[in-house]
Structure 1
Amino acid sequence: MGMGIDIRNRLARRAAEEIQSGMVVNLGIGIPSLVPNHLPANINVMFHAENGITGMGPSPARGDEDENLCNAGGFPVTLKTGGSYCDSAVSFAMIRRGRVDITVLGSLQVSERGDLANWIVPGKKVPGMGGAMELAQKAKKVIVLMNHCDKAGNSKLLRECTMPLTARACVDLIITELAVFQVTNEGLVLTEIFAPYDVADIANKTECEFTISQKVRQIPY
């Protein structure tokens, strides 16, 4: 079952809460690309793309696209005042040097230790790993936005990932349509629950163990 646009925006809105003014933020393709739509106007952020942009603005209106200006996923973008371009070598140097404060990524699976598997479904063609390997290792905070279960109903939160890993023990925060988990040295901690779900719903759909925070935030519609 695919995700409705409202649920996708719900996840993006929660991820946007992690972003503060002055940050450099890298967004993956898919749900993460919706995050800028949910930032308050007073938050000033430089969005970074691996292909060499720092300071991406909102998506252009149809007809206003610049054919030479796109993000790492190939989608048209705009540039904010004060934004800049560089080649992808410099862009990756920014990532590897730890200059990216937050990366928001989609994922196929995440383990209870925060291992990330998000670059290939075995047997399917992909364009490559892209910047995910560097971002997962070097961004100061790694946030994953994903469906709680795959199309077959299997949990994407696992004791051990079964798909090839992008990076080990790198994820800090997991946001699904059911809940928000912090990844700690002791494993996953459930910190927030989206209405209308409860702990039993989440436990039913989570393959790995998790602990429950003493204070759990309920997120209304």
Structure 2
Amino acid sequence: MLRRLPTREELAARIAEDIPEGAVVNLGIGAPTLVANFIPEGREIIFHSENGMLGMGPAPSARRLDPDLINAGKQPVTEKAGAAYFHHADSFAMMRGGHLDLCVLGAFQVSEHGDLANWSTGQPGAVPAVGGAMDLAVGAKEVYVMTDLFAKSGEPKLVDKCSYPLTAPRCVKRIYTGHAIFDVTPHGFRVREIFGGLSPLDLEARTGLNLHD
């Protein structure tokens, strides 16, 4: 058990540890893109970017920065040996056709049934379209979520039922937060790993959920 809460980079490295050898993976916009920087040495993971790249590498150093090499969030990336480029439509065909082993997405809310809400809070000025998140959530064989356990307002992001517009129902397998890692099970959220010296009872008190350990 980590006796303190992990940094965002440490959480990304923890996710990277759980990605199996040879997996084809898409990383959602935002914090999930950090995962590409922490793949354990010697492990082959093939990263897909929805803007048309397979074989994406980690973020570049200032000396290696190429403005033509970007991910879907317009962040600079590198290319691995054997990287391929293709039309946007082909990229979405890969996503929708079940060719991705795993995707790591951010979230506004995840329900105990694995429902994902990550594209809009429904508030004025919110993001106007779902983008590729819906295709990833239903097309990838497994969906991991990387997010804070609590919103800036203090409300928990893990809920019994999502109140925000859904991206996809019953798609999330695991949630990585700075307080704990949770699996989605038929009986609700199960605590897989916990940080900062907290207990499942502490998390239940703060989230209002019934958690399994």
- TM > 0.5: yes
Distance 1:209 1:96 in 2: 34
Q: What is the TM-score with the length of structure 2 in the denominator?
A: 0.92
Q: Which amino acid counterpart does residue 101 of structure 2 have in structure 1?
A: D
Q: Percent identity?
A: 47
Asked if the contact 1:113/1:185 (under 8 Å) is kept, the reply is yes
Q: Which amino acid counterpart does residue 205 of structure 1 have in structure 2?
A: R
Distance 2:69 2:32 in 1: 19
Moved over 3 A (4+): none
**Which residue does 1:161 correspond to in 2?**
162
**Which residue does 2:210 correspond to in 1?**
209
Query: Paired residues, what number?
Result: 208
1:185-196 correspondence runs (5 A): 185-196=186-197
**Which residue does 1:44 correspond to in 2?**
44
Instruction: Give the superposition deviation at 1:192.
Output: 1.1
Distance 2:7 2:91 in 1: 31
1:44-63 correspondence runs (5 A): 44-63=44-63
Asked if the contact 1:148/1:205 (under 8 Å) is kept, the reply is no
Q: Which amino acid counterpart does residue 97 of structure 1 have in structure 2?
A: G
Partner of 2:75, secondary structure, is coil
| 2:106 is equivalent to residue 92 of structure 1 | no
1:69-84 correspondence runs (5 A): 69-84=69-84
**Which residue does 1:102 correspond to in 2?**
102
**Which residue does 2:121 correspond to in 1?**
121
Superposed CA offset, 1:119-157 (max 9, x none): 012222426322110111111110001111111111111
Asked if the contact 1:56/1:78 (under 8 Å) is kept, the reply is yes
Of Structure 1 and Structure 2, the greater strand share is in 1
Structure number with greater CO (CA < 8 Å, separation at least 6) is 2
Distance 2:141 2:20 in 1: 13
Distance 2:65 2:13 in 1: 25
Q: Which runs of 5+ in 2 are unaligned?
A: none
Partner of 2:193, secondary structure, is strand
Q: Which runs of 5+ in 1 are unaligned?
A: 213-221
Partner of 1:60, secondary structure, is coil
Asked if the contact 2:110/2:159 (under 8 Å) is kept, the reply is yes
Instruction: Give the superposition deviation at 1:180.
Output: 1.1
Q: Which amino acid counterpart does residue 155 of structure 1 have in structure 2?
A: P
Q: Which deviates more from structure 2 when the two are superposed, residues 119-128 or residues 91-100?
A: 119-128
Partner of 1:12, secondary structure, is helix
RMSD of equivalent CA atoms:
1.6
Distance 1:128 1:62 in 2: 33
Partner of 1:168, secondary structure, is coil
Partner of 2:137, secondary structure, is helix
**Which residue does 1:138 correspond to in 2?**
139
Distance 1:208 1:165 in 2: 20
Q: Which deviates more from structure 2 when the two are superposed, residues 180-189 or residues 198-207?
A: 198-207
